[in-house]
Amino acid sequence: MTDTTLQGRRIAFLVAGEGIEQVELTDPWEAVTRAGATAELVATEPGTVRGYHHLEAADSFDVDAVVAEADPAGYDGLVLPGGVANGDFLRGDADAVRFVRAFVESGRPVAAICHAIWSLVEADVVRGREITSFPTLQTDVRNAGGTWVDREVVVDENLVTSRKPDDLPAFNARFIELVAELPRT
């Protein structure tokens, strides 16, 4: 039986070219597509991006859209996979930061895991919110005005955050729930 929970929904997965924690891309991707959504890989550059298993290079993935040309309004949800280098490169890309800020401010669901929280910090959207992340980012969250907590998944309005790959089942489930609650147009 096919799950149609997210039928007709478009989900953007925003990444940089290198350093993506592969499982934090592929596991949510599979979860949203199993739920009936269309997933699109949005990156800072065209071509392909490289996943990593922590520090070891893994698979390559084709980019569907470049963030500088992508319209956040065209998507129902945004997933920000982790990876130390990915998170660092994304927060340094002005177009990616604008995309993240626009998405969060729109009220549509945004899911960020591990080091992807850096993009939320850089977009200045964690102030007054409860957030979790990889533990080494707790000072960044606090300095940006957020409240850091150590839980597998935290939902604060439209933000879903998690700490690490072990949290993916809860992360995916909560994100899918939020997207499914969006009004149909």
Helix (H, G, I), strand (E, B) or coil at 119: helix
What is the Cα–Cα distance from 69 to 98, expressed in whole angstroms? 12
Q: What is the helix (H) or strand (E) element at residue 180, kind and residue range?
A: helix 168-180
Helix (H, G, I), strand (E, B) or coil at 179: helix
CB neighbour list of residue 130: distance below 8 Å, 6 or more residues apart: 146, 147, 149, 154, 156
Question: What residues does 73 pair with on adjacent strands?
Answer: none
Told to judge if 114 belongs to the known catalytic residues of this protein, a careful annotator would answer: yes
* Identified catalytic residue from 114, 121, 123, 153: 114
Q: Which residues are catalytic?
A: 114
